[in-house]
Structure 1
């Protein structure tokens, strides 16, 4: 009996080491994913606005987010098809990351090209990264044990925060000093470096899958089959509404800071670094918070932080108070990220079926698609009203979102 107890005790450190290796491999790639998202979200629009481009025009750059929201259309291919090398999901991950790296190298040597050409190249890079992310999420659903899901969600936020700090902070602050070519070549090299750790997870990918050559589900993955489920449709509606409220409030705040006179370099160094650092803090706090208080109470705490941040940004604009505006811009990202950690924890569990890429893409992708369109629309609306009215409406919408999430997260389904 004592020998059995010793074996059980010995398995605990082994399980921790195993999941430590898993989370390291997954989160290295999430850093790269966050880096590209940071460039799209916090980098390019901020630089464009500072160069005198109006808000509505700068807002169109958020269309580069569309691939993140459309991956549900081709996610079934990730579940159904296996590429002729490496394991089922890692083969897709390596291929898509390589395409993204190639795209960044081409962009590096395309300085001065027509804006449409650069947009199409950027769209191709984002498309590849978004597809990589779907395969990566499917791998996470397969290899992360149920009792590690909250930790996986929190560490994913931390990895995305680090990536966002690079793409939305360092990119903005140093782009002028490094130059176009060097900046994008450095981004491509970082993506290559971050790919290496996931290559160690090939055996786990195969062991937890349905077999080396068999499709993930009988008859293949089907988005239509999944969408016919009434419970899924209800979840999707709630998620779409919540994300369409949260992400415009986070995505446009740097444009507001430019409008109240905050220099771009300060936005890059202060908001671009302290914002992700606050998200890192949230990721560390959220793990014990969710375990001690549960998802619902944790979500309410994070939503309160987001609400206070919106009030601070409205105050900053109304009174041209840069300190309040910057503080609110940093805090709103932390609050919204905390809310999304609670949502992501549920999504990991919802996706643990026979077609993880398709299921995860449906939850994440469709809600992201809706929030992208809403962010672009919000950028067109702000010039017609003002930032004060925008944040006032956002505060009211946040309260509506909290009620919806209480219904969604409070369920045991």
Structure 2
């Protein structure tokens, strides 16, 4: 494995490219995770139905099924990463533009199925684009720079969520649904410019003897046979369960406590900024503490902040709501960065996109199912019981850290091959 001093420092153009790509991915996610739950609850939509919005993330769970082909196929003119990113991001822009042309109140009520269909298409395009983007990130950044790289990833993603979450709530209140969604589509189109102007160096596709379904098995068999991979995957699938259970119900709870859209937008804005600071702290901690200790610290902070939300009841002071919301987002940003950086350590050279995608899909497997039940659980045991349960799940997941310690600490062949791999693509300086 190449030691850190031999790893070239990524250029500012590289950081700009990655930040724009992950910010673009955060835009549709913020719409679904932050803006829609509040808008739907304001329209009187049932909590159980709001919780089922988590099922729109199904393409993010299933994308591992087509990820090997994303690693293999290159556009003859646009190149590998650009050949996927440009048309897919353009498709999301078109879907947002179509939403901007439709009537908002009707979409949130009698045309709810049409809204779900368009959001599913957006998630399908964004999830497939994510395969190419994650593979590009692993190739561009050596191990030395992946902590900072994942800070840029999570920070950019959270900025995108901030703009389409709190920003959209504020704009809907002032400009209406149509102009607010049109602004979101224009912003996403502007974020396409860095990858449009980026010049990608050609790199060969990985050697594969199989095709069709056999390619899928062949592609992942090598990764899953790595020593200690079972313990790592168990931790990976459990680490964010508490967050997945709690996060869909935070905005509906605040709406039920009397918070309006404007106040929610301001709260989401400030808490998202804290999430970005938490992401930067996560990159620093990963570099200082290593994967195992950083995951332990991030997991503890995540569990405690989720459980603390149970103290919010009718009449809770605004200062308490702000304090807990800011801490929860900071812990989420920190824990996400260290988790993603640890996932990058497991990727093999020339298989970066699919290897990272498989881990991300498995991480979403239980998280998506648990998140889809959040509304039902909130109705059954109330918001305080839901958040206490989420905190307990977060602490229980940390019991899997010790069995996975060997995988996180070992200098494995898969990790070495990634660190030693040449950078096939470079942005224009």
Q: What interval of TM-score do these two structures reach, taking the shorter chain for normalisation?
A: 0.7 to 0.9
What are the Cα deviations for residues 281-313 of structure 1, in whole angstroms up to 9, with x where unaligned?
Answer: 112222332222333333333334333423431
| Aligned-pair CA distance for 1:318 | 7.7
8 Å CA contact 1:175, 1:183 repeated in 2: yes
Q: Secondary structure at the match of 2:345?
A: helix
1:137 and 1:100 map into 2 onto residues whose CA distance is 18
For 2:361, the equivalent position in structure 1 comes to 365
Residue 32 of structure 1 pairs with residue 27 of structure 2: no
Q: Secondary structure at the match of 1:353?
A: coil
2:83 and 2:250 map into 1 onto residues whose CA distance is 38
1:216 and 1:301 map into 2 onto residues whose CA distance is 40
1:159–1:357 Cα change, 3 Å: same
Structure 1 counterpart of 2:182, from 173, 180, 185: 185
Structure 1 counterpart of 2:48, from 43, 46, 56: 56
Residue 381 of structure 1 pairs with residue 377 of structure 2: yes
For 1:6, the equivalent position in structure 2 comes to none
1:38 and 1:58 map into 2 onto residues whose CA distance is 15
1:380 and 1:299 map into 2 onto residues whose CA distance is 30
1:93–1:293 Cα change, 3 Å: same
Alignment of 1:200-219 (within 5 A): 200-204=197-201, 206=202, 209=203, 211=204, 214-215=205-206, 217-219=208-210
Structure 1 counterpart of 2:350, from 350, 354, 361: 354
Q: Once structures 1 and 2 are overlaid, which stretch shifts more, 104-113 or 229-238?
A: 229-238
Alignment of 1:67-86 (within 5 A): 67-86=59-78
Between Structure 1 and Structure 2, which shows a larger proportion of helix residues?
1
Q: Secondary structure at the match of 1:202?
A: coil
For 1:273, the equivalent position in structure 2 comes to 269
Structure 2 counterpart of 1:92, from 64, 71, 84: 84
1:406–1:192 Cα change, 3 Å: farther
Number of residue equivalences: 394
1:222–1:269 Cα change, 3 Å: farther
Structure 1 counterpart of 2:306, from 307, 310, 314: 310
Residue 225 of structure 1 pairs with residue 218 of structure 2: yes
| Aligned-pair CA distance for 1:233 | 4.1
TM (norm. structure 2) is: 0.85
TM (norm. structure 1) is: 0.88
Residue 116 of structure 1 pairs with residue 108 of structure 2: no
8 Å CA contact 1:81, 1:215 repeated in 2: no
What are the Cα deviations for residues 133-170 of structure 1, in whole angstroms up to 9, with x where unaligned?
Answer: 11111111112122111110111111112111101111
Please give the root-mean-square deviation of Cα atoms over the aligned residues, in Å. Answer: 2.4
For 2:323, the equivalent position in structure 1 comes to 327
8 Å CA contact 1:257, 1:322 repeated in 2: no
8 Å CA contact 2:282, 2:333 repeated in 1: no
Structure 2 counterpart of 1:154, from 148, 151, 155: 151
Q: Secondary structure at the match of 1:269?
A: helix
Of the two structures, which has the highest relative contact order with CA contacts closer than 8 Å and spacing of 6 or more?
A: 2
Structure 2 counterpart of 1:135, from 132, 156, 159: 132
What are the Cα deviations for residues 253-288 of structure 1, in whole angstroms up to 9, with x where unaligned?
Answer: 122222222222211111x11121111111222233
2:134 and 2:208 map into 1 onto residues whose CA distance is 17
2:335 and 2:206 map into 1 onto residues whose CA distance is 34
1:274 and 1:40 map into 2 onto residues whose CA distance is 19
1:351–1:330 Cα change, 3 Å: same
1:287–1:390 Cα change, 3 Å: same
| Aligned-pair CA distance for 1:57 | 1.6
| Aligned-pair CA distance for 1:321 | 4.6
1:340–1:110 Cα change, 3 Å: same
For 1:4, the equivalent position in structure 2 comes to none
2:233 and 2:395 map into 1 onto residues whose CA distance is 19
| Aligned-pair CA distance for 1:27 | 1.3
Q: Secondary structure at the match of 2:200?
A: helix
| Aligned-pair CA distance for 1:218 | 5.0
2:13 and 2:242 map into 1 onto residues whose CA distance is 35
